Structure 1
Amino acid sequence: MYPTLKFLHSYWAYLVLVVVVLATINAFAGLASKREFSARDFRLALFALIVTHIQLLLGIVLFVVANDFGENSMGEIMKDSILRMRNVEHPFTMIIVVMLITIGYSKHKKLRTSASKLRTITITYGLALLAMLAMIPWKNWLS
């Protein structure tokens, strides 16, 4: 079960990264060009929301299946940079990423003007993207 979950979580992350980048760039481009908020903008933002939530669910299940808390104390985990990254920093930051995307998506639906909708998505998705890029385990991805 662990290898399958790890595979799904690792490769779904590529889709998440691509979709969040596209949604962020699309919103920024729309804001910069002062175009009207369209169904395409809505669908891209929604798709980014959906794929990040699926990734979060995969990550939570993987975390529960593969946690190191039974073998190591929290003090040992915090002293080891690899264990700390896998068990504390990465999960915590990715939860914040999903929260930012969820807040941005929910908030944009309540706004009336295209500029405010696109600005909200640009800011929240952009911050989420920066946090995501900071916490991706690049050594695992690039090897």
Structure 2
Amino acid sequence: MMDTLQFIHSGWAYLVLIVLVLATFNALFKFFGNREFDAKDFRISLFALITMHIQLLIGLILWFTKGYFDENSMGEIMKNDALRKLVVEHPTTMIIATALVTIGYSKHKKKLVSKPKFKMLAIFYSIALALVLYMIPWSQWF
């Protein structure tokens, strides 16, 4: 069960990354290109939000069921660089990135014209993308 969930979490991460990159660049290009916000833009940003939340949910299930704290104390985890990154830094950063996507999506809905909508999406999704790219365990991906 845990191996399957880990496989899903790792595989879904590719989709999250692709959709988040797409949503971020869509917002940036249309913001600087002075384009109108349409239904396709809404769907892209919504799909980024949904995929991020699903990934976070899978990750939290893994985090709570892996038993990191059964074998190690918090002091031992914090002294071990690899374990600290896996157990503390990765989940915390990804929670922050998901929160940024959620905030950006919520703020863009309150704007009435296209330019501010794209601005909100571009700002929050760009920061979230940077955090995701920084915290992906690249050594495990390749």
TM range (shorter): over 0.9
Further displaced range: 96-105 or 65-74: 65-74
The residue that corresponds to 1:123 in the other structure is 123
Q: Percent identity?
A: 56
1:94 to partner: Cα distance: 0.2
The residue that corresponds to 1:13 in the other structure is 13
Structure 1 distance, partners of 2:12, 2:80, is 27
Q: After the TM superposition, which parts of structure 1 deviate over 3 Å for at least 4 consecutive aligned residues? A: none
> What is the SS of the residue equivalent to 2:124?
helix
Structure 1 distance, partners of 2:126, 2:44, is 14
Structure 1 distance, partners of 2:67, 2:121, is 34
Q: Deviations over 1:41-62 (max 9, x none)?
A: 1000000000000000100111
Structure 1 letter corresponding to 2:117:
K
Structure 2 distance, partners of 1:54, 1:62, is 12
1:67 to partner: Cα distance: 3.1
Is the contact between residue 77 and residue 83 of structure 1 (CA under 8 Å) also seen in structure 2?
yes
> What is the SS of the residue equivalent to 1:36?
coil
1:64 to partner: Cα distance: 1.1
1:81 aligned to 2:81?
yes
The residue that corresponds to 1:47 in the other structure is 47
Structure 2 distance, partners of 1:117, 1:57, is 27
For these two proteins, the number of residue pairs brought into alignment is 142
Q: Deviations over 1:80-100 (max 9, x none)?
A: 011101110000000001000
1:101 to partner: Cα distance: 0.2
TM-score between the two structures when normalised by the length of structure 1: 0.98
The residue that corresponds to 1:68 in the other structure is 68
Structure 2 distance, partners of 1:130, 1:55, is 17
Q: How does 1:72-111 map to 2 (within 5 A)?
A: 72-111=72-111
Structure 1 distance, partners of 2:41, 2:6, is 31
1:66 to partner: Cα distance: 0.8
Structure 2 distance, partners of 1:134, 1:67, is 25
> What is the SS of the residue equivalent to 1:69?
helix
**Where does structure 2 lack aligned partners over 5 or more consecutive residues?**
none
The residue that corresponds to 1:56 in the other structure is 56
Is the contact between residue 67 and residue 87 of structure 1 (CA under 8 Å) also seen in structure 2?
no
**Where does structure 1 lack aligned partners over 5 or more consecutive residues?**
none
Structure 2 letter corresponding to 1:106:
S
RMSD: 0.6
